[in-house]
Amino acid sequence: MRPLVSMDQLWTLATRWYATRLQEESRRPRPDEIREIFAGIGLVGDFWDPKSDNFG
Amino acid sequence: MDFDLQVKLAVYRHFAETGQRPKPEEIAERVGAGMGRVLDAYRRLAGLRLLVLEDDGSSIRMASPFSGVPTQHVAEADGIRYYANCAWDALGVIAALQKPGIVQSHCEQSGEPLHLEVGPDGPGPSEWLFHCLVPAAHWWDDIVFT
């Protein structure tokens, strides 16, 4: 399956990554958080796993 | 606030206020420190993947979602034009600014232009799809390509 992301999903990623980027407490999501964010919008599988090296 | 955080915020806020990458001397003035300390902070921030530097070690290529160089992915808000690193980051610019704006890009296959109005809750209904080329585990192998 091609790794395609809808605009609604992309907006969720944009806000989770960047909504606090101009603020003091901003930080990049950790790998476990990245996996959780992706899973929360249905992006699952090795392609979306920041620690996987097996992409089928 | 520690010095690296001051530098990071100064960089990001410069992008937000101007749409352009800052010169190191502008950041030095903003944080009240010498250029050497600022460039040392740049290196540490790059090590933490919070900045991507050009080979000269002093020019900012990426302070995601902002791009330090012109790209095909553009966000516009309050009359300021911002370059982003990809379509995800173009939406990220609007999310970071927390202002309504417009995102422009184009389809890599057909060349069709993308024009999205983005409000506080994101873009309106759209058939557009973002194609992610690189698996998440390898984004930072070559982040500029990703």
What is the tens place of the pLDDT at every residue in A11-55? 999 999 999 999 998 888 888 899 999 999 999 988 898 887 766
Nearest by CB to B96, from A3, A18, A34: name it: A18
pLDDT for B117 beyond 60: yes
Task: Tokens 């806000």: give the residue.
Answer: A15
Looking at residue B142, its pLDDT comes to: 83
Interface of B with A (CB under 8 A): 1, 5, 9, 12-13, 16, 48-50, 64-65, 87-89, 91-98, 116, 118, 122-123, 126, 128-133, 135-137, 139
Looking at B30-34, B46-50, B97-101, B107-111, which range is the least confident one?
Answer: B107-111
Share above pLDDT 90 across residues of chain B, in percent, rounded to a whole number: 76
Closest CA to B63 of B31, B92, B103: B92
Nearest by CB to B95, from A14, A46, A52: name it: A14
Closest CA to A10 of B82, B13, B65, B44: B65
Burial B86-102 (b: 16+ CB within 10 A, else e): bbbbbbbbbbbbebebb
Q: Which residues contact B109 (CB under 8 A, 6 or more apart)?
A: none
d(CA B115, CA B117): 7
Task: Tokens 């999310």: give the residue.
Answer: B95
Question: CB–CB of B137 and A11 under 8 A?
Answer: no
Residue-wise pLDDT tens digits, B45-86: 999 989 999 999 999 999 999 999 999 999 999 999 999 999
> Which chain A positions have a beta carbon within 8 Å of B85's beta carbon?
none
Closest CA to B114 of B88, B96, B79: B88
Task: Tokens 């379509």: give the residue.
Answer: B87
pLDDT for B6 beyond 90: yes
Looking at B78-82, B101-105, B123-127, B141-145, which range is the least confident one?
Answer: B141-145
Looking at residue B110, its pLDDT comes to: 85
Residue-wise pLDDT tens digits, B7-18: 999 999 999 999
d(CA B51, CA B61): 8
pLDDT for B89 beyond 60: yes
Query: Which residue in A5, A17, A21 has the most chain B C-beta atoms within 10 A of its own C-beta, making it the best mutation to test that interface?
Result: A21
Average pLDDT, chain B: 94
CB A24 within 8 A of CB B5: yes
Looking at residue A54, its pLDDT comes to: 65
CB A12 within 8 A of CB A41: yes
Omega before residue B24 within 30° of 0, cis: no
